[in-house]
């Protein structure tokens, strides 16, 4: 197999030598040929297909390790879904819509009287776009700094070592790699019977760029993406209804007790919920979109109307046009690229990381895999602890968790001890007039080793880092409780929850 691959690479290189051009070609003909093939095939130490979080981090890390790297990205902007139409722009809208909502509803008790408040949606979107552009340009700078070749175009496998690229600016090129990493990410899962137009029937991408605030919005799917984007448009004035097939919001990974508390808070903010409910069909022919609903376990049917429907039922691996079948790379029944513990596919020199393979579809998980994959490639070892991957929902208050949930422990018949502490008893939360939520800890009753942490409350997304570090190093709840935390801080609620887990909290 190695000799065959070598022959293939040699043949590809010779095919692109200028000396193979007929000498009778006029200069204009040579120019035309060069426009068709933008550059000759060149062997790299590593070729990465996809410039999203997984791909660009792998490229930078490989460049830092002295490897000759090319990264292929068809979007024309680095950062993938996360940076362009996901994590980053959604956080901009979440933050600014929260400020707008707070000015409207939460300044008078603070002694701040505000006059006429207006929403400038165009400026809100411009602020989002400015953030995105600045960050994508920053990644391009890091590519140059670390010697990474950035190829803007769509990559397709020609053979096991060669990737053909249809360039965004026209023409084609090819690049040959001793090693290849697939990092093509994921796409929104469509809903059968509802055609996505990103104007009335939208995914998260369309939800980031609506031209006006709809009077009503139905969100199909009560997971993190649906709840975050539903929160944005609810704050801006839309009547939002979330339809979720499961009996809880936040997805199966969210602790059930935390999920119920979050739902109660979001409902108080104006979001309506229909849990244990499925969307049977949709009709977009009228001025309003009509959705036919039914109880998930069978029951009474109902019809609801909406100006905009957000489809947020999850994401699926994206491999369209990659040509994996051509080179025999295995995928599973869900379209995920099959890998081993070192991210190798069944073709050992081709690895795969991020959303397009197994595990939670989270940007930070993809980053960890990117670094580990390069370490395996260069050093023969790497590390990602999948038991300590945090999740965050950036609603207000935020929801964050890491490790096992209470329902996980019950399902696996694992004994545990619970400790909680409410933000209503935390001095910083009280002075900020932001007291909804709590910190919940789960620990082994014999060893006191931390098993999981679940937080709903202000600053939860930042606070979960301490919990993740504690899990990574096998800390006990007593270790956390005996670690001095600054006063007054929200993080003291974390310390007090740890005290409640191994003994008793002081301030509650």
Binding-site positions for NAD(+): 221-228, 244, 314
Binding residues: 91, 155, 184-186, 221-228, 244, 314, 355, 361-364
Tokens 């070192």 belong to residue: 342
Question: How many Cβ atoms are within 10 Å of 330's Cβ, its own excluded?
Answer: 12
The answer to whether 487 is a known catalytic residue is yes
The structure tokens listed for 353 are 């990381």
Q: Distance of CA 492 to CAs 23, 426, 428, 497, Å?
A: 77, 7, 9, 9
Contact at 8 Å (CB) between 44 and 68? yes
Question: How many Cβ atoms are within 10 Å of 479's Cβ, its own excluded?
Answer: 16
Distance CA 207, CA 311 (A): 10
The helix-helix angle for 53-64 and 121-145 (nearest 10°) equals: 30
Neighbouring residues of 491: CB distance < 8 A, sequence distance ≥ 6: 459, 463, 466, 485
Contact at 8 Å (CB) between 500 and 421? yes
The structure tokens listed for 143 are 């590519």
Kindly state the greatest CA–CA separation across the chain: 89
Distance CA 481, CA 498 (A): 5
The structure tokens listed for 396 are 């207000």
Residue 427, burial from CB neighbour count under 10 angstroms (0-12, 13-18, 19+): middle
Can you say whether the dihedral through the CA atoms of 263, 265, 268, 269 is positive or negative?
Answer: negative
Residue ranges of the alpha helices (H) in 167-237? 204-207, 224-235
The helix-helix angle for 460-472 and 492-502 (nearest 10°) equals: 50
User: DSSP assignment, residue 198?
Assistant: S
DSSP string for 162-178: EEEEEETTSSEEEEEEE
Distance CA 63, CA 95 (A): 34
Of 98, 161, 396, 487, which is the active-site residue? Answer: 487
Distance CA 360, CA 251 (A): 12
DSSP string for 311-346: E-S-EEE--TTS-HHHHT--B-TTSPBP--TTSB-S
The structure tokens listed for 477 are 């709840």
Distance CA 257, CA 206 (A): 32
Binding residues for FAD: 91, 155, 184-186, 355, 361-364
Residue positions annotated with a catalytic role: 487
């Amino acid at each position: 197999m190695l000799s065959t691959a070598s022959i293939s690479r040699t043949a590809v290189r010779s095919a692109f030598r200028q000396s193979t051009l007929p000498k009778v070609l006029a200069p204009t003909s040579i120019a035309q040929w060069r426009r068709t093939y933008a550059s000759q095939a060149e062997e790299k130490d590593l070729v990465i297909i996809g410039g999203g979080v997984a791909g660009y981090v792998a490229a930078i890390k490989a460049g830092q390790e002295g490897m000759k790297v090319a990264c292929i990205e068809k979007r024309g902007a680095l950062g993938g879904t996360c940076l362009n139409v996901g994590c980053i722009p959604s956080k901009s809208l979440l933050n600014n819509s929260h400020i707008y909502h707070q000015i409207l509803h939460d300044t008078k008790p603070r002694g701040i009287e505000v006059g006429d408040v207006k929403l400038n949606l165009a400026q809100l979107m411009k602020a989002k776009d400015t953030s995105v552009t600045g960050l994508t340009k920053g990644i391009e700078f890091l590519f140059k700094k670390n010697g990474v070749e950035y190829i803007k175009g769509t990559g397709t496998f020609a053979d096991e070592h060669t990737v053909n690229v249809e360039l965004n600016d026209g023409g084609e090129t090819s690049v040959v790699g001793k090693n290849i990493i697939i990092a093509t990410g994921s796409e929104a899962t469509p809903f059968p019977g509802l055609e996505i137009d990103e104007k009335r029937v939208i995914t998260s991408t369309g939800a980031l760029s609506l031209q006006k605030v709809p009077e009503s919005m139905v969100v199909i799917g009560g997971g993190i993406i649906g709840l975050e984007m539903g929160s944005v448009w609810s704050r801006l004035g839309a009547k939002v209804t979330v339809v979720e097939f499961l009996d809880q919001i936040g997805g199966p990974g969210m602790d059930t007790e935390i999920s119920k508390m979050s739902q109660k808070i979001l409902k108080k903010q104006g979001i309506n919920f229909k849990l244990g409910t499925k969307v049977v069909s949709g009709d977009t022919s009228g001025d309003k979109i009509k959705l036919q609903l039914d109880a998930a376990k069978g029951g009474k049917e109902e019809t609801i109307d909406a100006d905009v429907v957000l489809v947020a039922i999850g994401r699926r691996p994206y491999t369209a046009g990659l040509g994996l079948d051509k080179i025999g790379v295995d995928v599973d029944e869900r379209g995920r690229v099959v890998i081993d513990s070192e991210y190798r596919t069944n073709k050992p020199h081709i690895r795969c990381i991020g959303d397009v393979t197994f595990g939670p579809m989270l940007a930070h998980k993809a980053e960890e895999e990117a670094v580990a994959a390069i370490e395996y490639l260069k050093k023969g070892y790497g590390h990602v602890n999948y038991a300590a991957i945090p999740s965050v929902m950036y609603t207000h208050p935020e929801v964050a968790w890491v490790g096992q949930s209470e329902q996980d422990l019950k399902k696996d018949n694992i004994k545990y001890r619970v400790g909680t502490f409410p933000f209503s008893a935390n001095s910083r939360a009280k002075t900020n007039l932001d007291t909804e939520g709590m910190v919940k800890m789960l620990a082994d009753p014999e060893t006191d080793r931390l098993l999981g942490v679940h937080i709903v409350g202000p600053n939860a997304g930042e606070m979960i880092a301490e919990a993740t570090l504690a899990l990574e190093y096998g800390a006990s709840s007593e270790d956390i409780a005996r670690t001095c935390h600054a006063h007054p801080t929200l993080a003291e609620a974390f310390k007090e929850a740890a005290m409640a887990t191994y003994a008793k909290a002081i301030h509650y």
